[in-house]
Amino acid sequence: MPMHVIYGGTFDPVHHGHLRLALEVSERLGNVLVSLVPCHIPPHRGQTGATAAQRLRLLELAIAGEPDLRIDDRELRRGGASYTADTLRQLRGELGINVPLAIVLGTDAFAGLDRWKEWQHIPELAHIIVVQRPGIILDPDGDPARLLVKNAAGSAGALHGCAAGRVLKLNPPWLDISATGIRDRISLGQSPRYLAPDSVLAEIQHMGLYGACPAKNF
């Protein structure tokens, strides 16, 4: 069975930074399917601006027609706080012990890995693909940096050869876009155009999310 790759996030809202990264990862691993996994309640941050159902709707619009991306809404269906260890354990149960499973994390997320629930089990369950985010430097004495050095995968191909445990560092072009920046622009009445797909922005406006005025075009 081909490698299974998941890319989790709040996606509040999904934007071109997320989408480009997902495609870059897919290509660099040999056109594998990448599943975007919206979280239900993110454990490490406050309330989301859009509901789970609204964030899912925006994701569906964003990936429409893209064959290498799909959505896995298991964390939304599971409800409660979304812990990556639970998601990986569930997936591992479905895939069996031999299928390579990988999770994509930006360096901002990876830097806080040692605060995640059962984080030590994560490398037993999956590979980790760490994507460099500009300006984020890992503490060289911290557990995430140590894990990266100890389990480093020399190439993307190495991830296909075993089921879990390798850490691959990738440095694809990073678009300087954040969901926070988009929400802020909208709430200030500024245009968010070109930061996310038009279909996503039109739906944000239609639903009046993040303080958007449905009567006024972005």
Strand spans (E) along the chain: 4-9, 34-38, 69-71, 101-106, 127-131, 167-170
Angle between helix 52-63 and 198-207 (nearest 10):
150
Cα dist. 145→20, 118, 174, 201, 216 in Å? Answer: 25, 17, 20, 37, 47
Residue 34 corresponds to which tokens in the numbers above? 């990448």
What x-and-dash track marks residues 11-50 binding ligand ATP by CB under 6 A?
xx----xx--x-----------------------------
Conformation bin of residue 32: beta by default, left when phi > 0, alpha when psi is -120 to 50: beta
Give the residue with the Cβ less far from ligand ATP, 174 or 218.
174
Lay out the site mask for ligand ATP across 113-152 (x = CB under 6 A, - = otherwise): --------------------x-------------------
Using CB under 6 A, which of 36, 61, 88, 105 touches ligand ATP? 105
Site string for ligand ATP, 51-90 (x = CB under 6 A): ----------------------------------------
Chain positions contacting ligand ATP, by CB under 6 A = 9-12, 17-18, 21, 105-106, 108-109, 133, 174-175, 177-180
